[in-house]
Amino acid sequence: MNRLAQGADAPVIVIGSGIAGLSAALALAPRPVLLLTRDGLGEGSSTALAQGGIAASVGPDDTAALHLADTIAAGDGLCDTGMATAILDQTPEVISMLARHGMTFDRDENGHIALGLEAAHSRRRILHARGDGTGAALVDALTAALRTCPSVTVLTGAEARRLTSADGRITGVTVLQDGRARHIAAACVVLATGGIGGLYEATTNPSDNYGAGLAMAARAGAALADMEFVQFHPTALATARQPLSLISEAVRGEGAILLNDLGQRFMADIPGAELAPRDVVARAIHAQITAGRRVFLDARTALGDRFATRFPGIAGLCADAGIDPARDLIPVCPAVHYHMGGVLTDARGRSSVPGLWAVGECASTGLHGANRLASNSLLEAGAMGMAAARDIRDQGAAQPLPQIAQSIAAADPAPVRALVSRHLGVLRDAKGLDAAIEALLPLAQSDSPAADPALVALSVAVFARLRQESRGAHARTDCPATLSASSRQQFTLPQILGLAHDLIAPETALIRSA
């Protein structure tokens, strides 16, 4: 057994070093924080890969109300308007926090903040840095600030595997480092473990990010919400590289168009065309590819030689694949990009379990509804990291509770990827979802290294099976209509397991309800 801070108050443990974890850890100062992260500081994060930027209604023709209206329209009837208002209202605070930590945004030739356009935004409102290097700039700024923040201790190469609790309250984390498990006591825990793209074969997310925070929270008793809503980005660069490189929506915002290999502009007659909501564009591209076509982004006329200046990072990714976007068509395909679902939280980032907060992509606040509006995610993660820190600062200190670490292996999502990609993709149906549930249920309840990834995937499948409609990013070929009345779903692990059993063995459910 290994204990940290023996004799001293237990630290707040923050798990993950993307924008959510970094913002929370910095905003918690001077309260002692232990930041655990699986790779190096800021590494293995979606944050570092972010291209488009951060949505902020700062343009002269823009207002917070317009930003809210676009967010709600993209969310397809499932946004929590109160939460969306509360989070978007924190936009100025997030931008000034980033600026205070040294982040500088790109400016136009007149010295004004340059504003990009992305799908389903009615105004230019995307602040960006280094052209398309917003995420890298953000990680550089926040990690530099963190390294000089005396209240934060960083533990890298540390994979969090389990939360421990006593009397219904979270007391610490079991961590794997250098192959050894140890328990670290915590005053409270902030999950900031990012998305679930690592469950899929085709994703823009770091491949190891399968939703560890969701599995740990669910096993500790926390409710999960909106798990069925997995966002596919329409335009990943179609190469063999894993994870797939992203071709930012901002490229379409600058006028690039989508063509198939017959030269047809298949989005032309769809409302919004190339800048329709992400789910609409992803499904249109998926339909083309399923019909045997190949799909390309054509930036030759809209950007031409300007491409490399406006999008230097993407130009580099294309060059690695032998493509010159000024002259060549860019082959694209949809890929898993973002998860609207996660650990259910309130406006302070509190989960349903005392002592456990969740922020950033691993949380489900209700901001995004059934479909996230582009570039609202960095904003939400920064806002909620700070909100959780404010809330935790008001909590009392706690003495460490020594506990023996369970022996546990590193998690491995590889065994579930083929199944998840096949049945939980852009289009779903009851038959495929039932097959996924049947295969994932025993794995989720096993001791296998794939148990936690299977548990997260099982939750997506159960939520998706129960939502008998198509809405936002959740498209059911057997239930294509959008129901007139619908609400968010939220379940705890015992409920998810019970529902899974009932779905694959309906006769047992009938006996139980008789």
Catalytic residues: 278
- Cα(379)–Cα(374) distance, rounded to whole angstroms? 10
Element counts in the chain: helices (H) and strands (E): 16, 21
List binders of ligand SIN among 408-467 (CB under 6 A).
none
Phi, psi of 379, rounded to the nearest 5 degrees: -60, -50
* Residue in 193, 248, 288, 351 binding ligand SIN, rule: CB under 6 A: 248
Q: Which is nearer to ligand SIN, 76 or 249 (CB)?
A: 249
- Cα(252)–Cα(493) distance, rounded to whole angstroms? 40
Please enumerate in sequence order all residues whose Cβ is within 8 A of that of 277, keeping only pairs 6 or more positions apart, or say none.
Answer: 73, 74, 76, 119, 120, 371
> How many other CB atoms are found less than 10 A from the CB of residue 269?
7
Cβ atoms of residues 273 and 307 within 8 Å? no
Q: Which is nearer to ligand SIN, 74 or 149 (CB)?
A: 74
Give me the residue whose beta carbon is nearest to ligand SIN. Answer: 52
Q: Is 203 in the site for ligand SIN (CB under 6 A)?
A: no
Task: State the binding partner of 19 from ligand FAD, ligand SIN, none, CB within 5 to 8 A by kind.
Answer: ligand FAD
Q: Is 204 in the site for ligand FAD (CB under 6 A)?
A: yes
Task: State the binding partner of 249 from ligand SIN, ligand FAD, none, CB within 5 to 8 A by kind.
Answer: ligand SIN
* Residue in 70, 76, 106, 249 binding ligand SIN, rule: CB under 6 A: 249
Show the site string, 33-52: x = touches ligand SIN by CB under 6 A, - = not: ------------------xx
- Cα(225)–Cα(187) distance, rounded to whole angstroms? 25
CA angle 388, 145, 359 (to 5 degrees): 20
DSSP bridge partners of 476: 428
Type of residue numbered 368: H
Which conformational region is residue 107 in: left (phi greater than 0), alpha (psi within -120 to 50 degrees), or beta? beta
Type of residue numbered 257: I
List binders of ligand SIN among 324-343 (CB under 6 A).
337-338
Q: Which of 300, 296, 257 is nearest to 276 (CA)?
A: 257
Q: Is 91 in the site for ligand FAD (CB under 6 A)?
A: no
Task: State the binding partner of 361 from ligand FAD, ligand SIN, none, CB within 5 to 8 A by kind.
Answer: ligand FAD
Please identify, among the stretches 45-53, 91-99, 327-335, 421-429, the one whose residues bind ligand FAD according to the rule CB under 6 A.
45-53
Q: How far is CA 134 from the centre of its chain?
A: 16
Residues interacting with ligand SIN, by CB under 6 A?
51-52, 248-250, 337-338, 374-375, 377
Residues interacting with ligand FAD, by CB under 6 A?
15-21, 36-39, 44-47, 49-54, 134-135, 159-160, 192-195, 204-205, 209, 212, 246, 337-338, 360-362, 375-378, 381
